[in-house]
């Protein structure tokens, strides 16, 4: 994996990386992969890769930005592995219908094709969805951990890293149709989990 090689006047101080950046990098990683052990491994791998590639650092970006760019590349590599390892059919199945029917079923049991009354999406307060809030971040990570890993990858790239659908499909090697099914189902599950554990708590 090629390590980014910026160019200007910033200097590297590897002996201070753990103290200065370990917590930030761990928070960045855990909010995207929701697995503490994997997040720690990724941070360690980031430091090791940065040490190996420090001669390529020309100082255009600061240390933190450079380390985050290395970590981000490693997270995407992990997403790609998860997408391949967890590849599955996303066709409509009986288990899917049972799991998701309640979002769209009216009290009389009909499925008119729109949100069932009590499941109608409610507006979320921006103040309550600030990723910098430790408690909200903890709930978010817990909700992400309930998604299949391949879904977590797609959801995180789309809504946390603001990647385009085309870029996500290319990076993860998934079809456009699979992408949209994953996004749809992941959003439903995340909305339900966050509303239950944060907004209605």
pLDDT 10s digits, 82-138: 776 554 444 443 334 434 555 545 455 544 444 455 555 455 445 444 544 677 888
Per-residue pLDDT, averaged over 161-178, amounts to: 90
**What pLDDT was estimated at residue 6?**
46
- pLDDT tier at 200 (50, 70, 90 boundaries)? low
Distance between CA 105 and CA 119 in Å, rounded? 9
Residue with more model confidence, 135 or 175: 175
Residue 8 pLDDT exceeds 80: no
DSSP assignment of 118-180: GGS-----GGGG-TT-HHHHHHHHHHHTTS-HHHHHHHHHHHTS---HHHHHHHHT--HHHHH
Contacts 24+ apart (CB under 8 A), 110-113: none
Delineate the domains of the chain, giving CATH numbers in brackets. Answer: 14-85 (1.10.1740), 94-199 (1.10.10.10)
């Amino acid at each position: 994996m090629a390590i980014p090689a910026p160019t200007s006047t910033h200097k590297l101080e590897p002996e201070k990386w753990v103290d200065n950046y370990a917590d930030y990098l761990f928070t960045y990683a855990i909010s995207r992969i929701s697995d503490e052990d994997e997040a720690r491994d990724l941070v360690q791998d980031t430091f090791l890769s940065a040490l190996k590639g420090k001669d390529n650092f020309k100082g255009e970006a600061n240390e933190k930005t450079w380390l985050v760019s290395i970590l981000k590349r490693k997270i995407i590599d992990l997403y790609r592995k998860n997408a391949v390892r967890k590849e599955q059919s996303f066709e409509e199945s009986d288990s899917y219908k049972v799991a998701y029917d309640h979002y769209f079923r009216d009290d009389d049991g009909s499925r008119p094709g729109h949100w069932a009354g009590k499941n109608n999406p409610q507006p979320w307060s921006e103040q309550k969805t600030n990723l910098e809030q430790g408690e909200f971040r903890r709930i978010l990570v817990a909700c992400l951990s309930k998604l299949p890993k391949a879904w977590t990858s797609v959801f995180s790239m789309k809504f946390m890293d603001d990647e385009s659908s085309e870029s996500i499909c290319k990076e993860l090697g998934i079809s456009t149709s699979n992408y949209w099914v994953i996004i749809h189902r992941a959003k439903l599950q995340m909305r339900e989990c966050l509303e239950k554990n944060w907004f209605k708590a």
